[in-house]
Amino acid sequence: MGVNGVTEVTNNIATTYTSTVNSPVEDKKKDKEVEVKKEAAAVYEKSEENSSTSKVSSKETDRTKIIQQLKADDALRQQQLLDIVHKMMGKQAKTYGIANSENDEDSIWKFLAKGDFTVDAATKAQAQEDISENGYWGVKQTSERILDFAKALAGDDPEKLEKMRSAFEKGYKQAEKTWGGELPDISKQTFDAVMKGFDELTGKVET
C-alpha cells in the first residue's frame, strides 16, 4: 500500500470516527430544537385561547351596555309622555276654568287658571272655543295629540304601547295632584278617550 493509500484509509477512519462521535450531539441539538418549537407552539396556542376569551368577554360587555342603553331610552320615552300629559291636562284644566268663569261650581278652575276671578270677555270667548268639540283643547284633539305622541315613541310594539299607557295614567294622576283634586269633566272625558285609543292600538278592542 502506498502513501496515498494509507492517507485515504486514515481519512476514511477519521471521517467515520467524527461522524460516530458527533452524531449523538447533533441529535441532541435537533431534539432540543424540536422541544423549543413545541414549547413555542404551546405558548402560542395558550395566547390564542386567551385572545378568544377576551373577545367573548368584550362582546358580553358590549351587549350589557346596549341593553342598559335600551332600558334608559325606554324609561326616557315614558318620562317624556308622562311630562307632556301632565302639562296638557293642566293646560286643558286652565282653559276650562277660564271658559266657565261665571260658574260657581268651577270656581277652583277659575282660580287655578288666572289666580283670581277676573276674566275678560275676549279671553273667555277664546277659551270656550278652545274647549269645544273640535277645539284645540277639546277632548278629540287633546286625546289625539297624546296618542300620536305615544305612537311616535312606541311605534307599533304592543308591549311598548302598554308602557306608554302606564305613563299616561301616571301623568294624569300627577296633573290631578298639581291642581289639588279631580280634574274637570273635560279632562276625565279626555282620559277615557285616550284609554280607548290605547285599547285600539294594542288590539284589545275592534277598531
CB burial class (10 A; 0-12, 13-18, 19+) of residue 198? buried
What's the pLDDT tens digit per position in 101-152? 776 566 656 566 555 556 778 888 999 999 999 999 999 999 999 999 999 9
**Does a structural domain hold residue 106?**
yes
Confidence grade of residue 16 (pLDDT, cut at 50, 70, 90) = very low
**Does a structural domain hold residue 101?**
yes
Does residue 64 register a pLDDT over 60? yes
Query: What is the extent of the structural domain holding 131?
Result: 70-201
Return d(Cα 14, Cα 25) in angstroms, integer: 17
Q: In 100-184, which residue ranges form alpha helices assigned H by DSSP?
A: 107-114, 121-130, 139-154, 158-178
**Does a structural domain hold residue 156?**
yes
**Does a structural domain hold residue 32?**
no
**Does a structural domain hold residue 155?**
yes
**Does a structural domain hold residue 35?**
no
Helix (H, G, I), strand (E, B) or coil at 101: coil
- In the prediction, which pLDDT does 126 show? 93
**Does a structural domain hold residue 1?**
no
Does residue 160 register a pLDDT over 80? yes
**Does a structural domain hold residue 180?**
yes
Return d(Cα 158, Cα 203) in angstroms, integer: 8
- In the prediction, which pLDDT does 92 show? 92
Which residues are within 8 A (CB) of 61 and not within 5 positions of it... i.e. 6 or more apart? none
What's the pLDDT tens digit per position in 74-98? 888 999 999 999 999 999 988 888 8
Instruction: Quote the number of domains for the chain.
Output: 1
Going from the C-alpha of 55 to that of each of 33, 59, 92, 143, 197, the distances in angstroms are: 33, 6, 55, 50, 47
Does residue 195 register a pLDDT over 80? yes
